[in-house]
């Protein structure tokens, strides 16, 4: 046991000293969470500061005048402040009022306004980079008067497009439309791409963490055999101690990596929601983080053990790539099927793959992110995956002995399967 802990400590120290691992595992998710959280705080602080600095004068509209040669304006809309638009008989009166600061600007409505739509706006404060004053006051007034004082009709013309999109093809298991307000992650959300792709993002975090940790373990054991370091290691520790120490250490590192990434996603969607325009009411449940960690651990136990066993049978580092693709094929196929079935995560095929142990780690977490999964399904999937992990670990442990580790026999999938079954 003491030697196993020494191996774990050595592998952890080696990994935590690699800048590439630290940046990928912890740096990027922490930076993303801090950036979103910091921006949200700064934005909210600026809004509060602006509200404190605003005075009633800042919030009020400037008084303006108008000369109506077309005789269109019979009333000022009731939703505008009283006295905000002052009528004048001619431009001389308006100019005099402007010079005496009674008004800030004035409009001239020509007689042929209805036919050509030209409106003259006299504003001494306007310049090429200004916002153009508050000419919307007159445009709104003209809309209302041209429609005979019907403010509702004028409002419909002012804002002609008020579209609400509902994807009727995406119905959740409860039978109700899940697209309203984008409160359900997945393709049912048409208006927010982050919520739409959230299940695939969470699935990718689990998949990448399992595949990278397992592949590094395979590469490490193959390299130690190829460079004959394995011979030195076997003088100070047993094969079982080497296997257990390496799997536990990289499982722990992967656990920290998944925790950092899922925690970052949780912070971004729950705390920085306003910054990335997440609809109010949308939250990521903490249970998703728990299930994500569970399925990472059981998935890593399965595939890391398979990788370790393959590494024990791989005599040359040059065979690493081909061996890696052979052993990781079930997980890669599960990843591709998860992408294909993401639009229908509760179909029979998706449900079956989410319970099947070799595909459960990625498919089940995709369905859990979307929601609507009966509680018994992830429990059953985790239990079956644990059983498979125990079987593979025991088989690899029996196969992980000095004769195999020091042999130079070429790797083949047939010999690997025979060794697993017979061990």
Per-domain residue ranges of the chain? 62-155, 183-422
Provide the pLDDT for residue 420.
Answer: 64
Model pLDDT, residue 279: 67
Q: Do 353 and 341 touch, CB atoms closer than 8 A?
A: yes
Q: What is the pLDDT of residue 31?
A: 77
Instruction: Give the per-residue pLDDT at 383.
Output: 95
Instruction: Give the per-residue pLDDT at 377.
Output: 93
For the domain 62-155, what is the CATH code? 3.40.190.10
Q: What is the Cα gyration radius of the chain?
A: 34
What pairing do the DSSP bridges indicate for beta strands 120-122 and 105-109?
A: antiparallel
Residue 209 CA, distance from chain mean position:
17
Q: pTM score, two decimals? A: 0.59
Cβ count near 67 (within 10 Å): 21
Chain length of the chain = 423
Going from the C-alpha of 81 to that of each of 13, 127, 413, the distances in angstroms are: 71, 26, 82
Q: How many other CB atoms sit within 10 Å of the CB of residue 382? A: 21
Cβ contacts of 375-379, under 8 Å, gap ≥ 24: 377/351, 378/291, 378/295, 378/354
Per the structure block, which two tokens stand in for 319? Answer: 């065979």
Model pLDDT, residue 131: 47
Which pLDDT does position 128 carry in this prediction? 41
Q: What is the mean pLDDT of each run of 10 residues along the chain (423 residues)?
A: 77 76 72 68 55 44 89 88 89 90 90 86 63 74 88 80 50 42 67 75 85 80 71 69 80 83 78 64 79 89 82 66 79 86 86 91 88 90 92 77 56 65 63
Structure tokens at 362: 């990625």
């Amino acid at each position: 046991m003491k030697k196993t802990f020494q191996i774990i400590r050595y592998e952890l120290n080696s990994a935590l000293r690699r800048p590439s691992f630290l940046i990928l595992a912890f740096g990027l998710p922490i930076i993303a969470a801090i950036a979103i959280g910091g921006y949200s705080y700064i934005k909210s602080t600026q809004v509060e500061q602006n509200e404190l600095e605003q005075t009633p004068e800042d919030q009020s509209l400037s008084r303006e005048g108008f000369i109506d040669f077309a005789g269109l304006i019979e009333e000022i809309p009731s939703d505008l402040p009283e006295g905000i638009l002052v009528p004048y008989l001619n431009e001389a009166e308006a100019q005099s009022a402007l010079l005496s600061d009674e008004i800030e600007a004035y409009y001239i409505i020509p007689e042929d306004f209805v036919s050509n739509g030209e409106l003259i706006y006299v504003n001494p404060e306007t310049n090429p980079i200004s916002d153009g004053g508050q000419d919307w006051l007159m445009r709104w007034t003209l809309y209302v008067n041209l429609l005979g004082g019907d403010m509702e009709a004028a409002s419909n013309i002012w804002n002609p497009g008020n579209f609400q999109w509902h994807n009727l093809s995406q119905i959740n298991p409860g039978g109700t439309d899940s697209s309203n307000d984008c409160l359900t992650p997945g393709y049912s959300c048409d208006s927010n791409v982050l919520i739409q792709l959230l299940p695939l993002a969470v699935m990718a975090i689990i998949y990448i963490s399992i595949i990278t940790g397992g592949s590094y373990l395979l590469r490490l054991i193959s390299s130690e055999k190829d460079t004959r370091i394995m011979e030195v290691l076997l003088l100070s520790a047993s094969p079982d101690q080497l296997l257990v120490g390496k799997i536990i250490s990289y499982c722990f590192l992967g656990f920290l990596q998944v925790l950092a990434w899922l925690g970052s996603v949780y912070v971004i969607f729950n705390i920085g929601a306003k910054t990335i325009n997440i609809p109010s009411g949308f939250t990521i449940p903490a249970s998703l983080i728990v299930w994500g960690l569970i399925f990472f651990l059981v998935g890593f136990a399965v595939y890391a053990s398979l990788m370790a066993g393959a590494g024990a049978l791989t005599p040359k580092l040059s065979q690493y790539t081909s061996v890696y693709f052979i052993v990781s094929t079930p997980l890669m196929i599960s990843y591709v099927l998860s992408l294909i079935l993401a639009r229908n995560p509760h179909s029979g095929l998706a449900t079956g793959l989410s319970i099947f142990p070799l595909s459960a780690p990625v498919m089940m977490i995709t369905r859990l992110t979307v929601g609507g999964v009966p509680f018994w399904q992830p429990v059953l999937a985790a239990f079956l995956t644990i059983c498979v992990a125990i079987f593979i670990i025991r088989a690899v442990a029996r196969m992980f002995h000095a004769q195999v580790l020091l042999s130079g026999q070429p790797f083949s999938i047939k010999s690997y399967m025979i060794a697993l079954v017979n061990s």
